[in-house]
Amino acid sequence: MWLFIKLGLRDLPPISFAATRLVVAIAIFLPIVLVRRVALPREARDWYVIAVAGVLLLGVNYALLFWGAQFIPSGLAAVLQAVTPAFALAFGHFLLPDEPFTFRALGAITIGIAGVLVISWDQLHLSGLQALLGCAAITVGSACVGFAYVFVKAHGRRLRPEVLTCGQMLCAVLPMVGVAALHDGSPLHLHWTPRAIGCLLYLSLAASVGATWLNYWLLERMSATALLSMAMVEPLVAALLGAVFLRERITMNAAFGGALVLCSIFMITISFKRGSH
């Protein structure tokens, strides 16, 4: 995902890129939901849960992520998004009584965070106000992701994954399109290169439709912290792809950090399996 975001940002402005990604994803996913005649929620509380999570996860997070990613390497962007389990752990302590805060989970999260920091330690030479704001924006987006998943886990247990996925897209797309139009003007006037279109289709199909639906399917079967912790492997993948296609540097620190990330995921997975028995 990170490679396609960086490549797409070479031709498209970040907010319009993120908004169009949602528009394309809705155009693909909404007909599927309608054809399958999926039952929609009837209670206002369910739509409230969908709207809050959608605006945070697919609206605020996407806008901050795409905007911040244009100023920092893809590996560092993946690192900053990978701290979502730490936010989920903190939010879950207050919102999820069945996911208590434990020292074992804290230790696993700490190792994972240490790993993702080591992966891009040599990338932190980026300086200046734009790089600093980019890092801050993606980190705030990570907090939004962590809270959205915990919020859905706490209040949206009855909602089907496809309802959550499509509903959140619909709730997020109007604010995103409005901001994009005010900031970038008409999408018809953007630099629509074959590379930009290819990146847009991949992010819409694989990352927005496929991955979001799969995440909520998994959320019904595992803890929010464990689910988000699987994303800690993304910085290693992003660093490898960045080295091949974007000529981003990989060092021994990145390899060591990747080992820590995998160790963290293993610890959280084992902890979850033991806790579920």
Contact of 58 with 169, CB cutoff 8 Å:
yes
As a whole number of Å, the end-to-end CA separation of the chain is: 34
Which residues of the chain have a pLDDT value below 50?
A: 277
What is the distance between the alpha carbons of residues 62 and 87, in angstroms, rounded to a whole number? 17
Do 81 and 234 meet the contact criterion of CB atoms below 8 Å apart? yes
For residues 250-261, one letter each, b for 16 or more C-beta atoms within 10 angstroms of the residue's C-beta and e for the rest, the string is: beeebeebbebb
Per-residue 3-state assignment (H helix, E strand, C coil) for 71-121: CCCHHHHHHHHCCHHHHHHHHHHHHCCCCCCCHHHHHHHHHHHHHHHHHCH
For residues 51 and 171, the answer to whether their CB atoms sit within 8 Å is yes
- SS3 of residue 186 by DSSP: coil
> What is the pLDDT, as a whole number, of residue 7?
92
Coil vs helix vs strand at 171: helix
pLDDT digits (tens, 9 = 90+) for 119-135: 656 556 555 677 778 88
Q: Which DSSP category does 143 fall into?
A: H
The DSSP output letter for 189 is: G
pLDDT of 217 reads 76
Span 64-90, pLDDT tens digits: 999 999 888 887 788 788 778 778 877
**Tokens 């912290």 — which residue?**
225
> What's the pTM value of the predicted model, to 2 decimals?
0.81
Radius of gyration of the chain (CA): 18
DSSP E strands, the chain? none
Structure token pair of residue 67: 């905007």
- Give the per-residue pLDDT at 98: 72
CA proximity to 161, closest of 153, 86, 200, 203? 153
- Residue 153 CA to residue 228 CA, distance in Å, equals 12
| Residue 247: predicted pLDDT | 76
Fill in the amino acid letter for 253.
N
pLDDT on residue 112 = 78
Check residue 75 and give its pLDDT.
79
